[in-house]
Amino acid sequence: MAKGMREIKRQIKSTQNTKQITKAMEMVAASKLKRATNAALASRPYSDKLKEVVSSIASSSGGVKHPMLQSREIKRTAYLVISSDRGQAGGLNNNLLKKLVETIKSKHKSADEYALFVIGRKGFDYFKRRGYAVRQEVIGVPDSPTFADIKSIASAAVGGFENGDYDELYVVYNRFVNAISQIPTIKRMLPLDASQLEGGKSGPTADYEYEPSAEEVLSVLLPKYAETLVYSALLENKASEFGARMTAMGNATKNATKMIAQYTLNYNRARQAAITQEIAEIVGGANALS
């Protein structure tokens, strides 16, 4: 019995230590979530203004044309996958990556029909273990990323479409709703269509004059706009990561509290049984001597 009580005490101590760790991780994730949400909100004015200018040029009466605005026969598709570098975020990464694998299997007959660009160690390891070829990867993106951290892979994916290597480009990420809700999203980014460029603001818009020409300005702005969409998706995924980790660690802390309560109850019961047994043995011995 004493051995069983010592084991229960060790379990209580171990669970208490785990609870302290998960509680600390929950608080850290909550702090990072606030910063990530602020960063995502701060990036929107630049993205919105760039979208406004691109939309103005694309819809100009001159009929400006650009490869990024023109649909073509789909022979090869590129996927830019955004995942996290660390786990302990519930099913955030697995849900997203499983959804993409299902899409690839249903849409493509061979590996020659698609290419993968991956941001984040979890996504890279996931595809590597399953034998998928990754065209380019970026690992070790900081918790507060800048565009420079993913510029190389964003430029490669966007440039591949512009050069005709791919006929469409999808960005795969977790769309942030709130701390307990993140939606796995596979969104077509290129070619850009009217629904991506129109809407947003109502009311009067600015009338721009372009030098040297609208076509040349568009050729510079469209790749930058597409890369901005990638960066916005990265910020959304970062917020989703911290929200999922905060929720997962919060649930782990609650579970640890319940386990400690159950272990404590078991310990008290075992202790009470041991005391009762000792009293019974003493009474039995006294009766034998009388």
Domain borders along the chain are 27-247
Task: For residue 106, count CB atoms less than 10 angstroms from its CB and return exposed for 0-12, middle for 13-18, buried for 19 or more.
Answer: exposed
Superfamily of domain 27-247: ATP synthase, F1 complex, gamma subunit (3.40.1380.10)
Round to whole Å and give the CA distance between 57 and 63. 9
In this prediction, residue 138 carries a pLDDT of 96
Q: How far is the C-alpha of 78 from the C-alpha of 113, rounded, in Å?
A: 9
| Beta bridge pairs of residue 178 | 181
pLDDT of 48 reads 77
Quote the pLDDT of residue 61. 44
- What CA–CA distance (Å, rounded) separates 240 from 184? 10
Give the model's pLDDT for residue 71. 82
Could you list the pLDDT tens digit for every one of the 290 residues in the chain? 555 788 989 999 999 999 999 999 999 999 999 999 888 888 878 777 777 777 777 666 455 667 777 788 899 999 999 999 998 888 999 999 999 999 999 999 999 999 999 999 999 999 999 999 999 999 999 999 999 999 999 999 999 998 889 999 999 999 998 888 899 999 998 887 655 565 545 555 566 677 777 777 777 888 888 888 899 999 999 999 999 999 999 999 999 999 999 999 999 988 888 888 888 888 877 777 76
- 77-82 β-sheet, strand order: 136-138, 114-119, 77-82, 168-178, 181-190
Q: How far is CA 36 from CA 22, 185, 286, in A?
A: 20, 19, 72
